[in-house]
Amino acid sequence: MSSYRIWLLMGVGASVGLLAGHGPGSALPELTAVSPPLPPPPGSYAATSHSGPAPDAAAALSERFQQVVRLVSPAVVAVDAVKPPPADTGTPSKPVEESGSGVLLRWPNQAGTLVVTNYHVIGTAPLQRIYITLADGRIFQPRRLWTDPESDLAFLLLDATDLPTAELADSDKVQRGQWVLAIGSPFGLNQTVTHGIISATNRGQIHLGSTIRIKEFLQTDAAINPGSSGGPLLDLDGKVIGINTAIASKSGDSSGVSFSIPANLVKRIARQLFEHGKVTRGYLGVQLAATIEPAHALRLGLQRVNGALVEIVHPNTPAAQAGLRPGDVILKLEDVTLRDQNHLINLISELPPGQRVRLTYWRERRLSTTEVTIGEYRSPHR
């Protein structure tokens, strides 16, 4: 992916990019849709009746897509925000107008209706400069706002209680190859629907060059473009499996490599924000290499390219106290084999400060273990 960039879709001209448009631990609560549920999806498009001809597979799939769109599109919104001018440009500048998408949700014990979108869509815009446009043209402004820049999520509270809402799925059940639909406002074209499949899960090895630190994306080839940020990625039950966030592209437009925040991460972040007003994350105190090259892995005596390579151990941190050193490759957290550095970051972030865990690491061609007491991550964005 060296010739591509990652774009957070904040306007034409970005690469892996955030997709905003530029214009003038415990059991989690289940979210339920206001709209009636869809009928069960067809398990097979082959004929099961002997009384007539077999249904056409393409027609059956097309009808399923249409059912999902009818169910969910009323809950998909356009989000416009006017952000304060950048403070570090050194020259006078104007406020920044951004546009993106969002989806309406209900949350237990939370009065009103929530809009979930990307943090990069609204940024530091004041409430009075954020505008939510529904599918039927009604315009609302949020009464309250919760944000988490590290996961690029924002939740806006609307006072209205009679709005159509969508339902968050269990994104851990998402499989590569399954059909998905995306709905959003690319280039300001509200209620645009595209389709594709899940290309990969747990995709973390992308570099967004922003505040985003927690990366465990679903990858899809559904067409997503600037203005799609914050819109839902849907399964064929009409449930939200992800929030569309970024693309990999040479031009800043869709190239079939798009990334969505999984619904289960949305649930975890929302639960902490609503219950505690902030997200508490675990902290280890190391700087990790972005990748482990195959040649480097072989030089270290490893037979697989996995794990997290330690580049720097910060002093007076849990990692330093546990005896970790630069050059160590952390291979396991407890009994979980680590895919890469983002896998370790995500797992550590989910742990409560003060918990003691076992790390297995590779040093000087030998496996070693150590125990570490998790610290608390201090976000620079609080």
Which residues have a catalytic role annotated? 120, 152, 229
Asked if residues 168 and 263 have their Cβ atoms less than 8 Å apart, the reply is: yes
Neighbours of 28 (CB within 10 A): 15
Q: How far is residue 321 from each of residues 20, 91, 151, 374, measured CA to CA in Å?
A: 42, 45, 28, 11
Name the token pair of 302: 């490893």
Neighbours of 170 (CB within 10 A): 14
Q: Distance between CA 232 and CA 185 in Å, rounded?
A: 11
Helix (H) or strand (E) holding 265: helix 263-276
- Name 230's Cβ contacts closer than 8 Å, sequence gap at least 6: 19, 20, 79, 100, 101, 102, 103, 116, 117, 118, 121, 154, 184, 243, 244, 245
Q: Distance between CA 330 and CA 213 in Å, rounded?
A: 19
- Of 189, 193, 265, nearest to 222 by C-alpha is 193
Handedness of CA 345, 350, 355, 361 (dihedral sign): negative
Long-range contacts of 315-321 (CB under 8 A, 24+ apart): 317/283, 317/284, 317/285, 317/286, 317/375, 318/283, 318/284, 318/285, 318/372, 318/373, 318/374, 318/375, 319/284, 319/285, 319/286, 319/372, 320/285, 321/372, 321/373
Residue 32, SS3 per DSSP? coil
Residue 57, SS3 per DSSP? helix
Query: Tokens 């899809």 identify what position?
Result: 220
Asked if residues 352 and 297 have their Cβ atoms less than 8 Å apart, the reply is: no
Helix (H) or strand (E) holding 245: strand 240-249
